[in-house]
Chain A
Amino acid sequence: MPKIVFVQPDGRRQIVDAPVGQSLMEAATQNLVPGIVGECGGSCSCATCHVYIDEPWFSQLTPADEMEAGMLEGAVAPGPHSRLGCQVPVTDALDGLVAHVPPGQ
């Protein structure tokens, strides 16, 4: 099963098992990763699952659609590697992906 690494703003790391098909948001909330809320349950409505994704994984992802890009623009501290966790499904190729939790949601 792919492993995903969540890194808190203070550097604390949490490695979770994420079944293929689950979203990064679900991988985080199922494992009580702090700072990832997923209030809308993954419908791209709230931007409370915002993360920054490291390379090389970021460039491998299907780019954000218009709705996600719009939500990200208004997220807390958006950056060039910002994604909404709910819009990123886990695949085998993403094993080891490192996602940084932002300072706020």
Chain B
Amino acid sequence: MSDAASTYVIVGAGQAGGELAAELRKLGYAGRIVLLGEEPHIPYRRPPLSKAYLAGEIAETGLYVIQEAQLAKIGVEFVGNARVAAIDRAAKTVRLADGRAFAYDKLALTTGGRARMLTLPGAERPNVLALRTIADVQKLKPYCQPGKRIVIIGGGFIGLETAAVARKLGLQVTVLEGLPRVLARVTVPEVSAFFERVHREAGVDLRTGVQIEGFEGEPEVTQVVLAGGEKIPADVVVVGIGLTPNTELAEAAGLAVDNGIVVDEHAQTSDPDIVAAGDCTNHPSEFLGRRVRLESVQNAMEQARSAARTMAGKPDPYRAVPWFWSDQYDLKLQMVGLSSGFDRFVVRGDLGGRAFAAFYLKDGRLIAADAVSRPQDFMFAKKLVAMAASVDPAQLADESVPLKNLVPA
């Protein structure tokens, strides 16, 4: 079959799905592209949901990765409200819950993940919200009025970004974190303490090490009850406690799944006609020397491009160094690498101020860095981490030595 007569189906219209479709066209693929999305929306960027979109600074169309007219122009058939019920690998067909079916020559799974929710009684009430989709933010926005009380459960990136925007909009903000510190999963105590201070200075009632017993109020929650009995009044509750990868479809189809859809460095699943990319995959990382499942835009987009190349018969392995960013108040946090396993921690700048860079070394090599409002340091750290450079900790800490000078020519 010629390329132009073939059909590539993409299940999942998030950032990975959108990027994959666009990349197929950039690679010259001339066949049919069908992009199936469970949400009604064409592919959109999720990071601004807890930032500029929640703040009301950008419109919904400003979230779209590619505007609708352009998507049609490049020949991507988007099907919204499409819940895929099953993949029939023998018949090479994807079946939707509403009975529609799409035959494929090659298939991509970019199914992403869904927000984890609490299982406590009351968590199903209408003002207990996640923050993962446009629909979530549309439900949250009416509560975003000065003086309203928002209780945010979870001191991760979603929770803290939401807290920053809510303060800016004049809400009374409480953040409840179950662990002894915020961002515990992604950074060290020193950096957690920095963000805790910044939020408290902005007027957030931030509490760590607190357990939630339940919710009171009907039909809407009016109070969050903590273990020990304290009750925190709430007009709205946002739950940001992580993500569950959407792997059920792949698993039911008999693909290898192990904390994510198992793929190789070319985003190939255990079926040669199926690739997968983004938050839903477990992939080998040359940089980390192990398999990993990442939840980030960088991973979604770069792995999607690798998956597109595999589909188009022009393979190019996914070998990126993980990086991530978060905007809170006037601060920009940029992180590169993964710090787990570090044996030395070095700070450049002042953790008591509003800008610094933190470096993580292992066996003398730079494995990760977190930079707050220090873009140069982030960019040069990115290079140093990518080359696993051996660096002198004293020079890393010395503000008078530009980080640029430490990058080997």
CB pair A32 B74 closer than 8 Å: yes
User: Which B residues are in CB contact (< 8 Å) with A34?
Assistant: 26
A40-74 residues with Cβ-Cβ distance < 8 A to B are 40-41, 43-47, 66-71, 73-74
Complex formed: what's the CA distance from A46 to B222 in Å? 41
Q: Is A88 close to B, CB under 8 A?
A: no
In the complex, B114 has a CB within 8 A of chain A: no
Contact B374 A41 (CB under 8 A): no
Q: Which residue of B lies closest to A67 (CB)?
A: B375
State the Cβ distance, B353 to closest chain A Cβ, in Å. 15
What is the interface of chain A mostly: helix, strand, loop, or mixed? Answer: loop
Looking at B172-180, B206-214, B379-387, the stretch in contact with chain A turns out to be B379-387
A36 to B226, CA, bound (A): 48
| B-side contacts of A29, CB under 8 Å | 22, 65-66
Measured in the bound complex, the distance between the Cα atoms of B392 and A6 in whole Å is: 41
**Is there contact, CB below 8 Å, between A74 and B22?**
no
Q: Number of B interface residues, CB 8 Å?
A: 32
B47 touches A32 (CB 8 A): no
Distance between Cα atoms of A71 and B375 in the complex (Å): 5
Q: Is the CB of A70 within 8 A of B297?
A: no
Provide the residues of chain A in CB contact with B323, threshold 8 Å: 46
Q: Is A92 an interface residue (CB 8 A)?
A: no
- Select from chain A the residue with minimum beta-carbon distance to B26: A32
Number of A-B pairs whose CB atoms are under 8 Å? Answer: 67
Q: Is the CB of A39 within 8 A of B298?
A: yes
A24 contacts the other chain (Cβ, under 8 Å)? no
**Set of chain A residues within 8 Å of B373, measured between Cβ atoms:** 67
Q: What chain B residues lie within 8 Å of A41 (beta carbons)?
A: 45, 47-48, 297
Main secondary structure of the interface of B (DSSP, over half): helix
Collect the chain A residues with CB atoms within 8 Å of residue B70's CB: 30-31
Interface presence of B54 (CB below 8 A): no
Say yes or no: B380 contacts A74, CB within 8 Å.
yes
B39-67 with Cβ < 8 A to chain A:
45, 47-48, 51-52, 65-67
Contacts of B45 in A (CB 8 A): 41
> What total of chain A residues lie within 8 Å of the partner, measured CB to CB?
23
Q: B203-238 CB contact bits vs A (8 Å, 1 = yes)?
A: 000000000000000000000000000000000000
> Which of B26, B45, B334, B379 has the largest number of chain A CB atoms within 10 A?
B379
Interface status of A5 (Cβ within 8 A of chain B): no
Set of chain A residues within 8 Å of B297, measured between Cβ atoms = 39-41
Residues in chain A near residue B376, CB distance under 8 A: 70-71, 73-74
Alpha-carbon distance A47/B327, docked complex (angstroms) = 16
Contact A47-B379, Cβ < 8 Å, known A39-B301, A40-B325, A41-B47: yes
B8 within 8 A of A: no
The reply to whether A32 and B25 contact each other, CB–CB distance below 8 Å, is yes
Is B332 in the interface zone, CB < 8 Å from A? yes
Hey, which chain A residues are within 8 Å of B51, CB to CB? 43
- Give min CB distance, A69 to chain B, whole Å: 8
A93 to chain B, nearest CB (A): 22
Contact A37 to B301, CB < 8 A, known contacts A30-B67, A30-B70, A43-B325: yes
Within the complex, what minimum Cβ distance (angstroms) separates B181 from chain A?
24
What is the CA–CA distance of A66 and B375 in the complex, to the nearest angstrom? 9
A75 interface residue (CB < 8 Å to B):
yes
CA distance A75 to B375 in the complex (A): 11
Query: Which of B74, B298, B375 touches A74 (beta carbons < 8 Å)?
Result: B375
Q: Is the CB of A70 within 8 A of B375?
A: yes
Chain A residues within 8 Å of B22, by CB: 29, 32
Docked-complex contact A74 and B332, CB < 8 angstroms: no
Known pairs A32-B26, A68-B375 / 16 extra A-B pairs, C-beta < 8 Å: A29-B65, A29-B66, A30-B70, A31-B70, A34-B26, A41-B297, A43-B47, A45-B332, A67-B373, A67-B375, A69-B375, A70-B375, A73-B376, A74-B375, A74-B378, A74-B404
Nearest 7 A/B pairs, CB to CB: A74-B379, A70-B375, A45-B325, A41-B45, A70-B376, A71-B375, A30-B70
- For this complex, 26 residue pairs linking A to B, each with C-beta atoms less than 8 Å apart, are A29-B66, A30-B67, A30-B70, A37-B301, A39-B297, A39-B298, A39-B301, A40-B297, A41-B47, A41-B48, A43-B47, A43-B325, A46-B323, A66-B375, A67-B332, A68-B375, A69-B375, A70-B374, A70-B375, A70-B376, A71-B376, A73-B379, A73-B404, A74-B379, A74-B380, A74-B404
